[in-house]
Amino acid sequence: MRSYIEFLTTPTADTQGTTLLLHFDRKRYLIGSIAEGTQRACVQRGIKLTKVSDIFLTGRTEWANTGGLIGMILTLADVVGTQTEGTIQNVREKAERLLKRQRKANGDEQVERKPEEPVAAVERPTLTLHGGGNLTHTLATGRRFVFRKGMAVEVDEHEERDSQAKANSGDRKWEPTFTDENIKVWAMEISPSRTDLGSDASHIPATSRIRRKNSSDIFDEMQTDEPTLHGPGEPTKIERHQKDSKLKTVVSEMFNSEWRLDHLAEKSLSEVLMPAAIFIRDPKTGKISEYSGPMPQEAGSSGDQNNPVNDIKVLVRQPWPGALINELPPTSPSRGALSYIIKNHPQRGKFMPEKAKALGVRMGTKWADLTMGKSVEAIDGSMVTPEMVLGEGKEGAGFAVVDLPSEEYVSGLIDREEWKSEVIMSGVGVIVWILGTGVGKNEKLKGFLAKMSHVNHIVSSPDYCPNYLAFDTSAAATIQLFQLDPARFRIPIHDNVKVPQVEGSTPEVKNEPSLFQAAERGKRVQLHPILEVQDQFVEPPLNTANVWRSASEEVLHLARNAHNELQDGETKREIAQQQEDIPGQDVEIIALGTGSSLPSKYRNVSATLVRVPGVGSYLFDCGEGTLGQLRRMFRAEEVSEVLHDLKAIWISHLHADHHLGIASVIKAWHKEVWNGRKHLRSRDDSVVESHDHLEVLQEKKRLFVLSDHAMIQWLNEYASVEDYGFDKLVPLSIHSAKPAKGISSKMNWGDVLLTFSDADGGGSRELGKALLSAMGVSDVQAVDVEHCKGSKAVSITFPNGFKFSYSGDCRPSKAFAAIGKGSTVLLHEATFDDELRGDARAKKHSTTSEALAVGVAMGAKRVLLTHFSQRYQKIPEMEAVEGQVLEIDAAGEVDVARLPPIYAEDNDSAMPDVMVSDPALIAPMETNVTKIKKSASTDMKVGVAFDFMRVKVGEIIHLERFTPALIRLYEPQEVEEESQEAKSEVQDNKQKTKKPKREAKARQIEGKLDKKQNDARGGYIAKSGRDEPQEKEKGAVIA
Ligand SMILES: [Zn+2]
Ligand SMILES: [Zn+2]
């Protein structure tokens, strides 16, 4: 049985962390960080994760190491859950067939019906996460937006004090902290110690010098040389266990709850907490319909005292249990960093039959038992142990994965007793070092390495590994687009050679022979049959020159034509004339992620940066990997500039593809704006706090985050796990406008309500004005849209008249068209092709034409389309749409019985797999089909967003000129990928017995698209952004 470890990622802009895959034939393990981008790197390299049973997280529990975890678990849960569903279906059908046969043979009454019994026996897979303190807490903060069934997730938080106590009490048997059929694991939690720091403390990461408000214990810890993990006044063991079990319950319910979507509970109307979807059962027919009578009072409102509701029995949906938990137990950042020593089990020696015979053991099962390691009885009644009949065994091969975020951790690591233990260290042939910048040059560490020169040392660190392009396909696509249209695209920033990545943290390898060899992606360490470092699997970085050379002459010719057209004096004058009335022509729109549901090879998940010169930068949605995309798009000093300018982040809704990158972006902003300075902060000025809202706004150094209340709650909650800069945010929960009723948006900043219109009472208008001015805008309006609970679309107006509207994910919305009236630019989702209007309706997204229809209804000058399905398309062809009839088929009749839940705890819940539509909240475009004609006279220009596209508002009009080149660019690729895909599909089919129906349907749709492409060249140009079946399954669920 072969086993090896492989480097999936080394630190790059795309993949911030180091992830290793430990491979056994039947089972896989991930070790290292699951940083943002890890999942996408696996998609890129075609590495399937369905066999992963355990993840061993190294380092500290912080977003840099856990940022990709939630996204990855969601995907795994979808894939594994779907597989389980399939198995259950098979088992059920088999049981039914058997039942039929038996009944046929024995007569109906003789055979009892028990088809559910075998179903219950189907094993539900479990994913176990091993890591340090706060890991359960980190996951539990996601309870408002994570809910899956079919795969259990368990968290095993290492408790160092317990295992240390064991070791100190003389129990030196060195029991592993984890063991299964393949491996033994010893976890080591290393605490930081200041003794490791030289006189120069400037390379301590700034975050470790700054204390979080109300957690002086962390600062105090750092004042002492004692490495303590838990300060005085920390909870007792019992308290900790109570807290842990509460958190564990939350996490287990997020993934493996018995709760059912369709469960309705009967309640008295007066007991129903509003807002909620209420149903009523007809006593005669038993049919369920929506309740439309007088409503119970909204919590907190005075209600209509004169008109009390009839207290009848109604049906309401029960919120899923996790969402009911409003607050998690308190915690503070955990400073312990985890490392592991991992070993294969020893191999038993060869069975020697002559010895067994001599000892009087009968041939047969007893011999087999001995080879399996069991003792048996000889003929004379004496016990024979395996050691007596087996040849010399072989120690299992092992390796260590050591994660040292900074030099503070070096002493703690090298002082560990484990290194001296023969039991643990025999067979360990490799140490993988995951090092923070500058750690590699630590003298103590070098001494340790020299002492351990008999093992291989492989280092993964930005000091030793270059910033190569980890997402080859996306990078290659961007290079091709750059060749086509250099005004809109650039070659992604990268360097395949230069180390260290950051100047000044030189690992000093120039003059001395390095004790380390650098990690590379694909590099393997074989453990069995023999321990060996294998470089033949290393995947070389993308050859950008080859990509460049591969450009088709025809495509380049078409692109040159477009370019020449735009250079033509006449065209220039024409364009200038057409755009006379467009404000903010120098505003730049930068597409960082334009795909839906989960990162694919071609497109990352949602994020768009809008740079308004002289005012600031604004980020609209912030999916996983957004910071990485910024670092590919801009050179380091430009990234600093963008972060410095960053004024506000808008999060449209709580689906994972829209917000999981926000913690990293805020952390980078915080580092840039608040402690990027060279001087050391003293204890006194480390916390700048002001409780006067106006004063805070005048500081001009704040970042505004605008979203639904649930998002703000997440930001607040996660701040107790990690100091990522929450204290310096202005978190704003936005209250939606109701344009039909003349109600405009308001915001809550903590308890303070801000209003933006003189007509609105009940809040602070003065603060509202100050806020808008601090944000650099003149108005912000948001409306609820039909997608999922808490989904909002937004319109932002700038003082120069430039108006930007962003849909987020939604069905076409009349309310959005109203607040977006006169938009300069509309950025609208267009997840589905027009042919898939049914899917768009079912999954609460928009089609291309629907998005354009919203633009027409707004009178938008320019429309950019984004959020494309990752399943089958690359770009929708605009030419085909031109002149056609655009239809808006809006929400239509709401099927009450199928209405997804709105919870009693309404503001606290948002679920990715449940689309919520509340007719009271949402104004659909029309209830009847409306036809809007995009006539030739409208001056609305349309562009399609690609990842890494940067376009000035005044140049969106240029985009359409490149369409012929784009069409040609994607044509040949399609054919080639088609055949590759067909091959992999065949392989997939061989492995899987039964594919889920969903997938079959998707294939059907794809088939239709292909036909359409072949027939008419209309509709969509290129298909197959589809990488792995799991994307498809995920896409169907969370987009
Ligand atoms: Zn989305
Ligand atoms: Zn969504």
How far apart are the CA of 485 and the centre of ligand 2, in A? 31
**479 touches 491 (CB < 8 A):** yes
Residues with CB under 5 A from ligand 1 (ion): 596, 655, 657, 809
Ligand with an atom nearest the CA of residue 913: 2
How far apart are the CA of 820 and the centre of ligand 2, in A? 20
Q: Helix 38-45 and helix 69-106: axis angle, to 10°? A: 60
Instruction: Please say if the pLDDT value at position 30 is more than 70.
Output: yes
CA distance 876 to 793: 22
Ranges of beta strands (E only) in 405-453 are 428-435
The residue written with tokens 């994965």 in the block is: 401
How far apart are the CA of 411 and the centre of ligand 1, in A? 45
Weakest mean pLDDT among 225-229, 514-518, 813-817, 828-832: 225-229
- Residue 781 backbone dihedrals phi, psi, to 5 degrees: -130, 140
How far apart are the CA of 82 and the centre of ligand 2, in A? 20
The residue written with tokens 């999916």 in the block is: 623
DSSP string computed for 710-734: HHHHHHHHHTTT--SSGGGEEEEEE
How far apart are the CA of 324 and the centre of ligand 2, in A? 22
Whole-number pLDDT of residue 874: 59
Weakest mean pLDDT among 325-339, 669-683, 869-883: 869-883
CA distance 773 to 941: 30
Enter the DSSP assignment of 322. G
How far apart are the CA of 788 and the centre of ligand 2, in A? 7
Scored b (16 or more CB within 10 A) or e, 57-76 reads bbbbbbbbbbbbbbbbbbbb
Average pLDDT over residues 747-756: 93
Average pLDDT over residues 876-903: 38
Q: Is the dihedral of CA 759, 919, 263, 654 positive or negative?
A: negative
How far apart are the CA of 811 and the centre of ligand 1, in A? 12
pLDDT per residue as tens digits for the range 969-993: 877 554 444 444 444 433 444 343 3
How far apart are the CA of 912 and the centre of ligand 2, in A? 7
Instruction: Please say if the pLDDT value at position 893 is more than 60.
Output: no
Average pLDDT along the chain:
80
Instruction: Please say if the pLDDT value at position 154 is more than 90.
Output: yes
Instruction: Please say if the pLDDT value at position 664 is more than 70.
Output: yes
Whole-number pLDDT of residue 680: 39
How far apart are the CA of 1001 and the centre of ligand 2, in A? 21
Ligand with an atom nearest the CA of residue 867: 1
Tell me the pTM: 0.82
How far apart are the CA of 73 and the centre of ligand 2, in A? 17
Scored b (16 or more CB within 10 A) or e, 824-843 reads bbbbbbbbbbbbbbebbbeb
How far apart are the CA of 653 and the centre of ligand 2, in A? 7
Among candidate residues 775, 832, 776, the one with its CA nearest the CA of residue 809 = 832
**584 touches 800 (CB < 8 A):** yes
How far apart are the CA of 919 and the centre of ligand 2, in A? 18
Whole-number pLDDT of residue 243: 82
Whole-number pLDDT of residue 260: 64
Alpha helix positions (H), 646-700: 656-659, 662-674, 693-698
Instruction: Please say if the pLDDT value at position 1030 is more than 70.
Output: no
Average pLDDT over residues 114-123: 71
How far apart are the CA of 778 and the centre of ligand 2, in A? 28
Whole-number pLDDT of residue 513: 63
Whole-number pLDDT of residue 394: 85
CA distance 338 to 413: 10
Per the structure block, which two tokens stand in for 236? 């007792």
> End-to-end alpha-carbon separation of the chain, Å?
40
Per the structure block, which two tokens stand in for 221? 């810890």
Q: How many CB atoms lie within 10 A of CB 368?
A: 12
Indicate the pLDDT class of residue 477, thresholds 50, 70 and 90: very high
Per the structure block, which two tokens stand in for 680? 């050391």
How far apart are the CA of 1030 and the centre of ligand 2, in A? 18
Element (DSSP H or E) covering residue 10: none
Whole-number pLDDT of residue 511: 53
pLDDT per residue as tens digits for the range 356-378: 999 999 988 999 888 888 899 99
Whole-number pLDDT of residue 162: 58
Whole-number pLDDT of residue 261: 59
Average pLDDT over residues 233-241: 71
The residue written with tokens 């100047």 in the block is: 503
pLDDT per residue as tens digits for the range 897-913: 332 332 222 222 223 33
How far apart are the CA of 191 and the centre of ligand 2, in A? 40
**322 touches 250 (CB < 8 A):** yes
Task: Name the most confidently modeled range: 215-229, 296-310, 382-396.
Answer: 382-396
Whole-number pLDDT of residue 84: 82
Whole-number pLDDT of residue 502: 87
User: In the chain, count of helices (H) and strands (E)?
Assistant: 34, 38
How far apart are the CA of 597 and the centre of ligand 1, in A? 5
Provide CB contacts within 8 A for 725, sequence distance 6+: 666, 667, 669, 670, 671, 674, 703
How far apart are the CA of 368 and the centre of ligand 1, in A? 56
Ligand with an atom nearest the CA of residue 791: 2
How far apart are the CA of 401 and the centre of ligand 2, in A? 37
How far apart are the CA of 918 and the centre of ligand 1, in A? 19
Name the residue with higher pLDDT: 883 or 278: 278
Whole-number pLDDT of residue 65: 98
Name the residue with higher pLDDT: 656 or 632: 632
The residue written with tokens 């704003």 in the block is: 732
Element (DSSP H or E) covering residue 1010: helix 997-1016
CA distance 670 to 137: 23
How far apart are the CA of 668 and the centre of ligand 1, in A? 24
Name the residue with higher pLDDT: 327 or 283: 327
Instruction: Please say if the pLDDT value at position 720 is more than 50.
Output: yes
- Residue 864 backbone dihedrals phi, psi, to 5 degrees: -115, 130
Weakest mean pLDDT among 25-39, 110-124, 425-439, 737-751: 110-124
CA distance 193 to 412: 7
pLDDT per residue as tens digits for the range 937-958: 468 999 999 999 999 999 999 9
In a 10 Å sphere around its CB, with 0-12 CB exposed, 13-18 middle and 19+ buried, how is residue 303 labelled?
middle
Ligand with an atom nearest the CA of residue 606: 1
**193 touches 171 (CB < 8 A):** no
Instruction: Please say if the pLDDT value at position 1016 is more than 70.
Output: no
| Residue 638 vs residues 158, 478, 760: alpha-carbon distances, Å | 40, 19, 41
Per the structure block, which two tokens stand in for 668? 């980078």
Specify the 3-state DSSP secondary structure of 152: strand
How far apart are the CA of 1035 and the centre of ligand 1, in A? 9
CA distance 800 to 180: 65
Whole-number pLDDT of residue 976: 44
Q: 825-829 and 456-460: which strand pairing?
A: unpaired
The CA-CA-CA angle for residues 69, 70, 76, to 5°, reads: 85
How far apart are the CA of 41 and the centre of ligand 1, in A? 20
Average pLDDT over residues 514-528: 93
Indicate the pLDDT class of residue 217, thresholds 50, 70 and 90: very low
Average pLDDT over residues 85-91: 83
Q: Helix 553-567 and helix 569-578: axis angle, to 10°? A: 70
Among candidate residues 557, 575, 568, the one with its CA nearest the CA of residue 484 = 557
pLDDT per residue as tens digits for the range 622-631: 999 999 999 9
Q: How many CB atoms lie within 10 A of CB 232?
A: 7
How far apart are the CA of 767 and the centre of ligand 2, in A? 32
Weakest mean pLDDT among 480-484, 768-772, 980-984, 1005-1009: 1005-1009
Amino acid at residue number 342 = I
Provide CB contacts within 8 A for 235, sequence distance 6+: 243
Indicate the pLDDT class of residue 294, thresholds 50, 70 and 90: confident
Peptide bond into 529 cis (omega under 30): yes
How far apart are the CA of 12 and the centre of ligand 2, in A? 28
